[in-house]
Amino acid sequence: ATPTALMVASGRGAQLGIFLKGHQALDASREVDTVVFDKTGTLTNGALDIVSVAVTAGHSHDNVVGAAATLEAASEHAVAKAIAAAADPDAGDVTDFVAEPGRGVRGVVGGRHVQVGSPRWVARGATVPTDLARARRDAESAGQTVVYVAMDDAVCGAIAVADTVKPSAAETVRELRRLGMRTLLVTGDNAAAAQKVADEVGIDEVLAEVLPDEKVARIERLREEGRVVAMVGDGINDAPALVTADLGLAIGRGTDVAIAAADIILVRHDLRSVVEALGLARATRQTIR
Ligand code: ADP
Ligand code: MG
């Protein structure tokens, strides 16, 4: 892009809440033929609500939720915010806090080892009480996201949370497809929750239960196939994928890490900005001629 094209695009973009980091963004946006979406906080609102809490025998609801909420107070993940809001973070001092992107969080809360995260990660090497396994299965088949809570290495709780799809998501996907673009949903969440969102917004390629580096691998494969890939995401877990894509678009309410990794920042919550951002280069060219 010429400096003039960039200036014009930047001006137009700013009015639409679209911020370009440089001319590469403009050049890449012209060529994009594939758009990969993150799910939580990107296609969905990312304001999750707790739907149900199951606690196994020998544990109290308040202890499990209290410990989980106290630990999650230190995380900026959408699931964490829902859980942190469910109880006062007063289960004790948190030390040794570790957030593992795409998996969950762990740390010592009031002297006890607490872990909250994806069932696959928390249950690794542990026995899951049948009541919790059942609670997980029921919630996941309803398209909800489930996290397990473990205390001192014993899985003791299953928390189901639910999200809502952004009103602009279906229209955005429809428009991208009308423009001839291939669309994909790539998420760390469970397959049923991913499929539910994909059905609602009209995306037919879904890759679920993937870690951040597997999101990267999927994008690399698309590029090897000759696709020019835009990635739209909001979380720390999306940062590597945003960098790997030809064009990274970060949702402005996302994490600083995602914003730093992207080529384009979308300030608005409305996903139609994605279509506008991809059209910016084309529109600018016509304006200049
Ligand atoms: P997405 O691709 O939908 O943004 P992530 O890759 O961030 O999802 O996370 C994948 C899964 O890991 C989540 O569905 C959740 O089960 C778990 N997870 C990640 N971070 C956290 C956290 N802070 N607390 C609890 N669970 C988490
Ligand atoms: Mg996300």
- Nearest to residue 233, comparing CAs of 218, 223, 221? 218
Which ligand 1 atom lies nearest to the CA of residue 210? 6
What is the model's pTM?
0.90
DSSP 132: H
pLDDT over 60 (residue 132)? yes
For residue 289, what pLDDT is reported?
44
Residues touching ligand 1 (Cβ under 6 Å) are 38-40, 72, 75, 77, 79-80, 99, 102-105, 116-118, 145, 147, 187-189, 235, 237
Alpha-carbon Rg of the chain, whole angstroms? 20
The confidence band for 236, taking pLDDT boundaries of 50, 70 and 90, is confident
Residue to mutate, 146, 186, 189, ligand 1, most ligand atoms under 8 Å from C-beta: 189
Residue with tokens 């137009």: 12
On average, the pLDDT of the chain sits at 91
Is the pLDDT reported for residue 66 higher than 80? Answer: yes
Which active-site residues does the annotation give? 38
For residues 186-210, give the mean pLDDT: 96
As beta bridge partners, residue 115 has: 106, 150
Tens digits of residue pLDDT in 23-61: 778 788 889 999 999 999 999 999 999 999 999 999 999
Tokens of 159: 């928390």
Residue 109 alpha carbon to ligand 2 centre in Å: 26
Q: Which residues contact 170 (CB under 8 A, 6 or more apart)?
A: 200, 201, 202
ipTM above 0.90, yes or no: yes
Neighbours of ion ligand 2 (CB under 5 A): 38, 40-41, 234-235
DSSP state of 42: I
Domains and CATH numbers, the chain: 3-45+165-288 (3.40.50.1000), 49-162 (3.40.1110.10)
What value does the mean pLDDT take over residues 199-224? 96
Instruction: Give how far Cα 43 sits from Cα of 129, 211, 229, Å.
Output: 33, 18, 17
Nearest alpha carbon to residue 194 among 177, 207, 211: 207
**Res 281: pLDDT:** 67
pLDDT in tens, 241-289: 999 999 999 987 667 778 888 999 898 888 999 999 998 866 665 554 4
pLDDT at 284: 60
Which of these ranges, 73-77, 81-85, 177-181, 285-289, has the smallest mean pLDDT?
285-289
